[in-house]
Amino acid sequence: MPEPAWRTLFRDRDFLRLWTAGFCIFVVRWVETLAVGVFAYNATGSAFIVALLTMLRLLPMGLFGAFLGAVAERMDRRRALLLIILSQMVTSAAIAALALADAVAVWHLAVASFMNGIAWASDNPVRRAMIGQVAGPARMGPAMSVDVATSNGSRVLGPTLGGVLLASVGLDGAFLLGALLYAPAVVAVLRLPPAPTRIEAGRASVLASIAEGFGFVRREPRLVGALLVTLLFNLFGWPFTSMIPVIGQDRLGLGPTGIGVLASIDGIGAFAGAVTIALFAQPTQYKAIYLGGITLYFAMLAAFALATDPVLAGLALLLTGVGGAGFAIMQPTLVFLATPPEMRSRVLGLLSVCIGLGPIGFLSLGLLAEWFGAPAATAATGLAGLAALAATRRWWRHI
């Protein structure tokens, strides 16, 4: 009986180094996202500002995702990943210093969110493309399952740490921890072998490479469908996470620690879902997992918004995590498998663009929350996502 693919991955030193770097990045991301959301809401009382700060982490994907994908093919990806992590470390350290001096303002957090968003936009065409090279097509599904399980495990640890640190130490503690956690990621990346470019810099301009990537996607129905579903998720699904601190505080009556625990629950569901997929999913099931995951996510985020009891709200978040895991694992996996090696960074950059259009959803949800309240706005967004998914079947049925 052949050995499970996930076991062989954990004996691969380069995969372990990329996994370590990803784990550190993920934990910091969720620590800081929770801390920023709670701090900003207490400072301004505005659900719109909370959504705006989360939106700024996604905006660079829409603005720069295609560009970063084309540039990544011309660089040593190890060097690019190292520069990305160092930039995030400096940003976290700067906010920690401002918070220690009691000089931090919401606009500082907005700048930090945007800077970290630039790094996030590079994750698919740089780090995940490197994972794909290490794993190969046969192990891509399990590799993404492990990566997403790690991301969602960090969503259990990160918000809980963020809430505890914010309540006991303050914003400076959350960002100082973030700066320190980047150190193991730097060490892991330094131990990776060089990842040389696939494309000679003089072969074509960056803009020509981007145009070639767009042209390839238009000719491949599987990619059109996969990217469309990604777009729907980021317009109607993901924005609801910015409302968890607001709903947790105003509707469920929770404090910072309770909000941190609440925000971590969907990570528990996502971790369990990702582990299950890593162990049991077969390639013939990838489409069903992708579409079933986003459907469950939309339905359960509406249920969370309408819940009046913390236990019921937590159960709904647990199930959003399960659905989100199926979606998040299959999103890069389906794109990777449908794309030839020489085009993968560019197409993964376009995937980042689709993710980066999510700020439209965050902005819309923030405005709706200001007008109608966070629960009603969040529930309406989930139901709108289900309707949009049904209306676009003619495109995603080709996945």
**DSSP sequence for 100-116:** HTT---HHHHHHHHHHH
pTM: 0.73
Question: What gap in Å lies between CA 228 and CA 139, rounded to an integer?
Answer: 25
Q: Write the DSSP symbol of residue 136.
A: -
152-211 pLDDT, tens digit per residue, is: 777 777 777 777 787 788 888 889 988 999 999 999 999 998 766 555 444 555 566 667
Higher pLDDT, 275 or 92: 92
Query: Does residue 1 have a pLDDT over 60?
Result: no
Buried residues in 210-225 as b, exposed as e (16+ CB within 10 A)? beebeebbeebebbbb
Specify the higher pLDDT residue, 326 or 151: 326
Phi, psi of 196 (to 5 degrees): -65, 160
- SS3 category, 319: helix
Give the distance from CA 97 to its chain's centroid.
26
5-194+204-396, CATH topology level: Growth Hormone; Chain: A; (1.20.1250)
Domain boundaries, given as residue ranges, for the chain: 5-194+204-396
Task: Supply the mean pLDDT for the chain.
Answer: 84
| Residue 345 clears pLDDT 90, i.e. is over it | no
The number of beta carbons lying within 10 Å of the beta carbon of residue 321 is: 27
